[in-house]
Amino acid sequence: MKATSSKAVSLNAAFLDEIKQVHEELNELLSSLRVIAHCDISDATSRRLFVDSLGAMRDQLALRFSLEDAYGYIENPVDAAPWLTEVAAELRDEHSLLYRQASRLSELAESMWRSEQLAQRWQMLLAKFMSFDDQLTRHETRENELVIAVCNEDVGVGD
């Protein structure tokens, strides 16, 4: 799904880079979820940990995205290059989509925990998380590449 904002957007590259670097809690949560997702979660302890970690990831993503939206992007830039405006708007708009997906994952995990689902259903949940993780990683990679491009070309950088 692609929903690009109609508003012109550029990057505040220095702030966006700083937000990512100081936000270690989200990175640690994602690392932990990846380890669990690649292991067997047949026991209740690891399942509960996975469910709790998904909820914490959703909350940390909400914080990360709100910081990025508030300080990492600039609406109505005066002199941003057209290519930058287009890519920046696309990436910023992905935040709401990724957050909704993270929320659905967390809600599904909680409901599975309450209803004591079979192992097969837990494997399906792990696959859903890995698919989401791929999307989030692509988003982060593209955002980092854009920060580098903006710094290199010195266009659209806010102070």
The neighbour count for residue 116, using CB atoms within 10 Å, is 9
CB of 143 to Fe ion, least distance (A): 5
Q: How many residues does the chain have?
A: 159
In the complex with Fe ion, the residue whose CB is nearer, 10 or 51, is: 10
Closer to Fe ion by CB, 27 or 46: give it: 27
Single out the segment in contact with Fe ion by CB under 5 A; choices: 22-30, 40-48, 114-122, 140-148.
140-148
Question: Count of residues binding Fe ion (CB under 5 A)?
Answer: 2
Contact range with Fe ion by CB under 5 A, out of 55-63, 80-88, 102-110, 136-144: 136-144
Q: Position of tokens 């109505």?
A: 76
- Reduced to 3 states (helix: H, G, I; strand: E, B; else coil), residue 61 is helix
Single-letter residue type at 50: F
- What is the per-residue binding string for Fe ion in 32-71, x denoting contact by CB under 5 A? ------------------------------------x---
Say whether 5 sits in a helix, a strand or coil.
coil
Among all chains, which residue has been given the structure tokens 């990360």?
64
Q: Which span sits near Fe ion by CB under 5 A: 23-31, 40-48, 54-62, 139-147? A: 139-147
Q: Which of residues 93-132 bind Fe ion (CB under 5 A)?
A: none
| Cβ–Cβ < 8 Å for 23, 64 | yes
CA distance 84 to 139: 15
Q: Which residues bind Fe ion (CB under 5 A)?
A: 68, 143
